[in-house]
Amino acid sequence: MIKAYILLITYVGNLKAVLEELRKLDHIESISVVAGDYDIIVKARVDALEDLMTLTDNIHAIKGVKRTNTQVIEKEIEV
Amino acid sequence: MRIRKRYLFYILALSSACASAASAVVDTVVAHEFIANPWVYGLAFFLVAAPLTLLITLIISIPAGKRSIGARIDPSFRRIRFPRKEELLYQMLSALGNAAFTLGYFLVMSRLMEPSVVLSFSQLSILYLLIVESVAEKNAPTMAEVQASLIVAFGAILGSISLSGELDMEALLIVFLVMNPGTVLFAEYQRKLKRLKMDGRPNDAINIRLWNLVFTTFFVFIIVSAMDVKLVAESITASGTALSWISAGVVVTFFSIVLFVRAMGIGKASITQAVRASSIIFAIPFFIALSYIIPDITFVSDPVLLLIRIMGIVLVVMGVISFALTEVKAYIFIRLEPGYPVTEIQQKIWEIKGITSVSATTGCYDIVAKARMRTLGKGYERIIRELEKIRGIKTFEWQTILKEWEEL
């Protein structure tokens, strides 16, 4: 199993529409709207790197997404 | 896949509260219709509970698709297993706590005609947990938590109090000195168990519950047989006559505790206990329904008492809502200086209070951490100041979470 954080920057005024589309996608563990350099942080869980590519492709296809930055998790400590 | 709103913790704790209200109803029916002696009922319950829970755990170990059925109840659950060496001490202590609570409960039940007069004070265990957490410095409660916990605890007392009986000082002492410390012991060690890692995965609430029940049965058996051996024989016959009701109680309690332990894996024991105190609200519709089925059990109709209870319920709801609203979460993106070991820094960040996950990542950041706190001020005091002490961290970016959806 591969987990990754996908950090999204959207064009101003598209946040709500992007969120609506994101919530329809598979392999997503959580979606957070944040205040900071990014707009949305998606945590993804996929079986193979190829699924991660499909997911990022799908995210890129959403209208209003300006840029994404994928951080693949190597080791995670969690409660 | 549907992604629903956050607050998995509140959903777990509230579902647990609902299940525990249902189990209270089953208790009332069994005590009223089948087994009058609380000691006999107590032992009979555990005699049915241990094998039945074993059976349930075996059934939900059956794989359905990729995961077992039990993974739907707790995603960390794979299959039934024996307790590990590192779990044994925690299991013994939490079983001891559970047995103390149970013993105290029977004592109060057998002493008083109207036990709810004093039993409502067992809700004060929330405050005991708060005190324990503030002594264990790593988990010092914030003012907002103390406030909301007090509101919930007093609300729960008002909501479950009964004015018909007399306040028995000795019974009250049992609640304060036996039952509440028992609850604290049980909750704190169940939480520690849930937070243990089994082969790098979180521990599952189902196996914790199963083995806790086995140990508690052992303790309760010893205590009851030490009192009077005749009670044991009586319990065995009683468990036969009321088997279906006791089984129903066991199943409901199983869900109540499993969800409770899962919730404690996410949040603090005191807050989980406080949210769970809302079971007094869920109990009302159950008891109204029950009073229709069994006419002997009557629901309070005294207007003064009803008013007091409604006040209590409003307090509980307000307290729980203020817990839910005073929560801030944030992501922290961290870049490291070259030449420092990532795993070591990861571990140091993990030890900071309020950090709920730390991931080493590839990409433009080296570590992504997630933090949870009651106020943004605490975020500075507890997290940023601590982060600044760690050598090897070059920069970090703080991103406060405004809204969040999580997979349930």
Assigned domain for B86 exists = yes
Contact between B3 and A33 using a beta-carbon 8 Å cutoff: no
Same domain, B321 and B363: no
- C-alpha closest to that of B206 among B69, B92, B298: B69
Whether residues B302 and B362 fall in one domain: no
Rounded to 10 deg, the angle between the B8-29 and B279-293 helix axes is 30
Q: What is the pLDDT of residue B408?
A: 52
Average pLDDT over residues A2-25: 92
Q: Say if strands B367-373 and B4-5 run parallel, antiparallel, or are unpaired.
A: unpaired
Q: Is residue B2 part of a domain?
A: no
Q: Are residues B311 and B359 in the same domain?
A: no
Cβ of B358 within 8 Å of Cβ of A77? The answer is: yes
Count of domains observed in chain B: 2
Q: What is the pLDDT of residue B303?
A: 81
Give residue B1's pLDDT: 41
Among A34, A71, A75, beta carbon nearest to B400: A34
Tell me the CATH number at B399.
Answer: 3.30.70.920
Clarify whether residues B398 and B251 are in a common domain: no
Instruction: Supply the pLDDT for residue A79.
Output: 66
**What's the domain range around B349?**
328-406
pTM (two decimals):
0.71
Q: Residues B400, B282: one domain? A: no
Q: Which of B296, B325, B354 is the last residue of a domain?
A: B325
Contact A41 B331 (CB under 8 A): yes
B177 and B267 inside one domain:
yes
The Cα–Cα gap between A10 and A19 comes to 10
In this prediction, residue B299 carries a pLDDT of 63
What's the per-residue H, E or C state across chain B?
Answer: CCCEECCHHHHHHHHHHHHHHHHHHHHHHHHHHHCCCHHHHHHHHHHHHHHHHHHHHHHHCCEECCEEHHHHCCCCCCCCCCCCHHHHHHHHHHHHHHHHHHHHHHHHHHHCCCCHHHHHHHHHHHHHHHHHHHHCHHHCCCHHHHHHHHHHHHHHHHHHCCCCCCCCHHHHHHHHHHHHHHHHHHHHHHHHHHHCEECCEECCHHHHHHHHHHHHHHHHHHHHHHHCHHHHHHHHHHHHHCHHHHHHHHHHHHHHHHHHHHHHHHCCHHHHHHHHCCHHHHHHHHHHHHHHHCCCCCCCCCHHHHHHHHHHHHHHHHHHHHHHHCCEEEEEEEEECCCCCHHHHHHHHHCCCCEEEEEEEECCCCEEEEEEECCHHHHHHHHHHHHHHCCCEEEEEEEEEEEEEECC
Same domain, B201 and B241: yes
* Closest of A48, A49, A24 to residue B405, by C-alpha: A24
Whether residues B302 and B348 share a domain: the answer is no
Give the type of residue at B25: V
For residue B385, how many other CB atoms are within 10 A of its CB? 11
Q: What per-residue confidence (pLDDT) applies to B403? A: 84
User: Across the interface, do B359 and A26 touch by the CB < 8 Å criterion?
Assistant: no
Q: Which residues of A touch B404 (CB under 8 A)?
A: 30-33
- pLDDT value, residue A63: 93
Together in a domain, B362 and B321: no
CB B20 within 8 A of CB B277: no
For B273, the token pair is 């206990």
Instruction: Give domain status of residue B402, yes or no.
Output: yes
- On the question of pLDDT at A72 being above 70, the answer is yes
Q: Looking at B308, B325, B342, which one is the last position of a domain? A: B325
Q: How would you classify residue B363: left for phi > 0, otherwise alpha for psi between -120 and 50, otherwise beta? A: left
* B306 and B343 housed in the same domain: no
Taking an 8 Å cut-off on Cβ atoms, the answer to whether A77 and B406 are in contact is no
Digits of tens for pLDDT over chain B (408 positions)?
444 545 778 888 889 989 988 888 888 788 777 877 888 888 888 889 999 999 999 988 888 777 778 887 888 888 888 888 888 899 999 999 999 988 888 888 777 766 666 777 777 888 888 777 766 655 567 777 788 888 888 887 887 777 666 667 788 888 888 888 999 999 989 988 888 877 767 788 899 999 999 999 999 888 888 888 888 888 888 888 888 888 988 999 899 989 988 888 777 777 788 888 888 788 878 878 887 877 776 666 678 887 888 888 888 888 877 776 777 889 999 999 999 999 999 999 988 888 888 999 999 999 999 998 878 887 787 889 999 999 999 999 999 998 887 765
For residue B390, give how far its alpha carbon lies from the nearest alpha carbon of chain A (Å): 18
State the average pLDDT over residues A30-57: 93
Are the Cβ atoms of A73 and B400 closer than 8 angstroms?
A: no
Contacts B266 to A, Cβ<8 Å = 79
Q: At what angle do helices B85-111 and B205-227 cross, to 10 degrees?
A: 50
Residues B44 and B177 grouped into a single domain: yes
Percent of chain A with pLDDT over 90: 77
* CA distance to B50, B183, B219, B294, per residue, from B215 (Å): 9, 16, 6, 35
Please state the separation of Cα B206 from the chain's center in Å.
Answer: 13
Residue B130: inside a domain: yes
Q: Is residue B1 part of a domain?
A: no
Please report the pLDDT score of residue B200 as a whole number: 67
Which of chain A's residues have a Cβ under 8 Å away from the Cβ of B366?
A: none
Q: Looking at the structure, do residues B340 and B290 belong to the same domain, yes or no?
A: no
Question: Of the candidates B325, B355, B379, which is a domain's last residue?
Answer: B325
Q: Is residue B44 part of a domain?
A: yes
Q: Which domains does chain A possess? A: 2-72 (3.30.70.920)
Is B132 domain-assigned? Answer: yes
Question: Could you tell me the maximum CA-CA distance found in chain A, to the nearest angstrom?
Answer: 35
